[in-house]
Amino acid sequence: MQNFHPNYIRLLVFDLESLTVNFDQDAWDNFRQFLRVIDDRDFETLLISESVEASEWDSYAKLSVLQSTTENALQNNPSLSAADVFWFSEQPELQKKISQLTTNFAGSNGRTTQNGGLQYQHLYDMLQIFHPSKITAADLSATLVKLKQDSPQVPLMLGIGGPEECGHSFFVGELIDALEDQELLASSLDLSQVLGTEFQKQTTSIDKPASTLWRSEEIRDWVIEEVLRPFSQGQQVYFENSPVIIQDYELSTFPYFLVPEMILLVWGTTVFLPEFENLIDLRILLELSPKTAAARMFALDERENFDQSFVDTYLQKEGKFYADYLAQYKVQNQIDYRINFENFNAFRMKENS
């Protein structure tokens, strides 16, 4: 395999005739379902066969077909040997040609590994590899493992921001699972119900300018002074029961316990405020288009072409408030990791610009 990383792959190419030569109806059904999952994960797919019919695959958003032999397709289309292409084939000779072009591939036959590819027992096993969200979370957790190995007793705090109702909890869940797979202790603090643009007041305070984005100053003081600051200073934090001021909001489960060995994930819409400046160690921003943000805000299917009025309403209200927050606090200048969060099943890290 040539410097293979699944999240750098754009196109999956299937040598259809070699893969499906012994398929019965159940095998075809399973293969179609496999491609449906790949489609949902935003990979482009190409089926190559002399007998493939494009009309049979119209329901797939990012799938195309090429009526050709695989040898001719590879010879006549240089783009099929690019670094962001991954092949599936059972033909040993084709595998050798692909390997010579330094393109990555997989197959189930016994010569696949010898030919320089990735061998699988069942095609469905590849879904564990081509899962952008889990791979991205695993990559992040690997970085955090290194940080904790260097300073295991030093608390590590991550801030995770993004538009209101963007799906923070899904990202946090994936990242915590990845951290636990690395045998790291992790906890979280959900500020989405107590901190955000919906609490912004018309008046401003010279002494406490950020307090206008909190549900109340009492909650702000508890979060900062009773939880985050002591934890950042290496102290243990323990609350057997939820304090009265936050009992109506699910910030976390109780008893709530933090020790310096832990990684703490603090998340919500507007977590990149001045009062967090010396507390948060790494900042992660979930980014998505206005259309997707509006869809999640109004509980619409973001894959459908819903009425533009929903997007317009979002941009005039919640979207505008969020953009104002990003600009006022220069959030983009603070971010360590930016995540393309358009698709829950295919979120990936973006290059900082």
Domain CATH for 54: 3.40.50.1000
Residues 122 and 138 in one domain: no
As given in the structure block, the two tokens for residue 333 are 């200048």
Whether 205 is covered by a domain: the verdict is: yes
Distances (CA, A) of 244 to 48, 62, 199, 239, 344: 63, 51, 20, 12, 34
Select from 102, 128, 154 the last residue of a domain. 128
* Cβ-contact 189, 265 below 8 angstroms: yes
pTM score of the predicted model = 0.88
pLDDT digits (tens), the chain, 353 positions: 667 899 999 999 999 999 998 899 999 999 999 999 999 999 999 999 998 888 999 999 999 999 999 999 999 999 999 999 999 999 999 999 999 988 999 999 888 999 999 999 999 999 999 999 999 999 999 999 999 888 888 899 999 999 999 999 999 999 999 999 999 999 999 999 999 998 876 444 444 444 579 999 999 999 999 999 999 999 999 999 999 999 999 999 999 999 999 999 999 999 999 999 899 999 999 999 999 999 999 999 888 888 899 999 999 999 999 999 999 999 999 999 999 999 999 999 987 55
Q: Are residues 213 and 331 in the same domain?
A: yes
Based on the fold, state whether residues 281 and 160 are members of the same structural domain: yes
- Of residues 341, 333, 351, 250, the one with CA closest to residue 8: 351
242-261 residues labelled b (16+ CB within 10 A) or e (exposed): beeebeeeebbeeebebebe
Residue 1 lies in a domain: no
Say yes or no: 50 and 149 in one domain: no
- 93 and 22 both lie in a single domain: yes
Q: Does residue 168 sit in the same domain as residue 294?
A: yes
Q: Is residue 41 part of a domain?
A: yes
Range of the domain at 200: 132-350
Query: Do 240 and 160 reside in the same domain of the chain?
Result: yes
The reply to whether 158 and 144 lie within a common domain is: yes
* Contact by Cβ (8 Å): 281, 174: no
C-alpha 350/C-alpha 339 separation (Å) is: 6
The answer to whether residue 170 is domain-embedded is: yes
**Same domain for 105 and 196?**
no
In the chain, how many domains are there? 2
- What is the distance of C-alpha 133 from the center of its chain? 4
Which of 101, 128, 155 lies at the terminal end of a domain, its last residue?
A: 128
Using only C-alpha atoms, the chain has a radius of gyration, in whole angstroms, of 24
Spatial CA neighbour of 157 closest among 262, 268, 272, 286? 262
- Report the run of H or E that residue 188 belongs to, with start and end: strand 186-190
